[in-house]
Amino acid sequence: MRSGIEDSNVLQARQDGMNSQQVFTDVACTLCGCVCDDLTLTVVNNRIESTKHACEKAASWFQNVETIVDRDRQSKDFCKVRGETSSLENALELGRTLLSETHHPLVYGLSSSSTKGQGLAVKLADQFGGVVDSSASAGHTPSVVAFQRVGESTSSLGEVKSRADVVVYWGSNPVESHPRHLERYTRCGTDAASRTGVSKSFLIVVDVVETETARQADLFVKIEPGSDFEVLWALRGLIQGIELQEESCGGVSRDELVALAEKMTSCKYGALFFGMGLTQGPLSHLNVEAVLQLATDLHRHTRWVVRRMRRFGDVAGADNVLSWQTGYPFGVSLSRGFPRYQPGEFSAQHVLENREVDLCVMVGAEGVQYLSQEAVDSLSEIPTIVLKHQQTELPFTPTIEIAVQMYGVQSAGTAYRMDDTPIPLRSILQSDLPTDVEILDELLASSTRE
């Protein structure tokens, strides 16, 4: 079974047998939220031999991918029940029994799945009256709360690449977290000459430490830890024409702030990207609200957009699918037969810590590392069904653990880039592992709630 986009050259190479060299062009990488889709991969004997256009992080990841994925159903790690090797049939049988007994399950993860798998994960939570949440709840909950309160000024990364003459990274270090973000979208200079009269955008970094991105910036504004809100509020005032009385704010002198405000108001098109540095702490949604309102203030002078830096490859896809199907991006309870959204109440961490769920189905294990110890302890106390491709060491022994194909490497699918643009994923390596879609289909088809 194969779906998605495969060009005829690649299909021909497949038909020639596994010993032939296959060159895949325009491959998408899902290692981070950039989802760069211009990679060239050379595959020999079903192994990735070399990569082109991949950042260092992605190159070593692709070349070691066989150590990350379980290659076939003969592997002893393919399917396990309570830590012991099992047949898939036994595991599915047990999975159906667990689902038939559950009263309030949690379906969690979703960021390494694809559109169809994410849709089925929501369906599973709906069918069994549970909670569905993605790993987004561990990172950008404050951002979503802020978007819902004040709205957002948004654009595609393509628009930023073509139009932005000033770019700000606030609380984000993309040189390390999203290595090709600058090269592909903000410092490439494409189209900028015709649109703005400059070949490259003016790069500003606002952060609490001098990061590698800050070292490459045209202007680095170092602020005191925990002072993002004050600095943003002072900037808002300056942009609205209000004079700043204090000599400095959040460790930044008045002159620096005035210069920053002037740079931001005098550009033709500005883009601000914020990262996890802005979304930490108990009232961090106020930081994000401030940055969104800053963009609104700037619109009196010029065009500005604000975007989040997303960590995981398809965390934006999980947001999109959940929003289509339930109206909300994460932290959704379907226990009453209709969607209820409450990030503080229905996020995986909270329902686990409060011992509110009696089964957890994890579609991808990437979110586990962000759960609190108490939530992880809870996962050890309830039955768990884990579909995963990473060799992530789980901090608990799942009741059922099944290795599934990795989207964009072993199976085709769709991932959403950090700007919510859907990117097709291709199958590069052959595998006889099931996809998460196949497993979820099996569980859904033959399970009924008692």
Residue in 10, 32, 69, 205 binding ligand SF4, rule: CB under 6 A? 32
Stretch near ligand SF4 under the rule CB under 6 A, chosen from 54-62, 350-358, 408-416, 421-429: 54-62
What residue has token string 């329902």? Answer: 351
Stretch near ligand SF4 under the rule CB under 6 A, chosen from 49-57, 103-111, 127-135, 161-169: 49-57
What residue has token string 């060491």? Answer: 393
Residue in 10, 31, 79, 271 binding ligand SF4, rule: CB under 6 A? 31
Q: Report how far apart, in Å, the C-alpha atoms of 143 and of each of 104, 284, 292, 329, 441 are.
A: 28, 8, 10, 12, 33
Beta carbon nearer to ligand SF4, 314 or 436: 314
What residue has token string 């950042």? Answer: 55
Beta carbon nearer to ligand SF4, 102 or 177: 177
Rounded (5°) CA angle 396-400-402: 105
Residues 315, 320, 323, 328, Cα dihedral to 10°: 30
> What is the rounded radius of gyration, in angstroms, for the C-alpha atoms of the chain?
23
Interface with ligand SF4, residue 361, by CB under 6 A = no
In terms of Cβ atoms closer than 10 Å to its own Cβ (0-12, 13-18, 19+), residue 322 is buried
Closest CA to 213 of 254, 274, 147: 274
Eight-class DSSP state of 244:
P
| Residues 160-189, mask of contacts with ligand SF4 (x by CB under 6 A) | ------------------xxx---------
CB of 35 to ligand SF4, least distance (A): 5
Eight-class DSSP state of 407:
B
Interface with ligand SF4, residue 306, by CB under 6 A = no
Strand order in the sheet with 202-207: 219-222, 202-207, 166-170, 269-274, 303-308
CB of 338 to ligand SF4, least distance (A): 37
| Residues 55-84, mask of contacts with ligand SF4 (x by CB under 6 A) | x-xx--------------------------
Residue in 10, 24, 27, 36 binding ligand SF4, rule: CB under 6 A? 36
Beta carbon nearer to ligand SF4, 108 or 416: 416
Beta carbon nearer to ligand SF4, 57 or 254: 57
DSSP string, 174-205: HHHHSTTHIIIIISS-TTHHHHHS-SSPEEEE
Give the separation between CA 175 and CA 178, rounded to whole angstroms: 6
CB of 273 to ligand SF4, least distance (A): 14
Stretch near ligand SF4 under the rule CB under 6 A, chosen from 51-59, 85-93, 164-172, 299-307: 51-59
Token pair in block for residue 5:
């986009």
Give the separation between CA 313 and CA 407, rounded to whole angstroms: 10
CB of 137 to ligand SF4, least distance (A): 22
Interface with ligand SF4, residue 27, by CB under 6 A = no
The size of the interface with ligand SF4 (CB under 6 A), counted in residues, is 13
Interface with ligand SF4, residue 316, by CB under 6 A = no
Residue in 10, 27, 29, 437 binding ligand SF4, rule: CB under 6 A? 29
Token pair in block for residue 161:
């690449």
- Count of other CB atoms within 10 angstroms of residue 371: 21
Beta carbon nearer to ligand SF4, 58 or 385: 58
Stretch near ligand SF4 under the rule CB under 6 A, chosen from 26-34, 276-284, 328-336, 408-416: 26-34
Sorted by sequence, the CB contacts under 8 Å of residue 154 that are 6+ apart come out as: 305, 306, 307, 419
Beta carbon nearer to ligand SF4, 352 or 429: 429
CB of 50 to ligand SF4, least distance (A): 14
CB of 309 to ligand SF4, least distance (A): 11
CB of 30 to ligand SF4, least distance (A): 7
Where does this chain bind ligand SF4 (CB under 6 A)?
29, 31-32, 34-36, 54-55, 57-58, 178-180
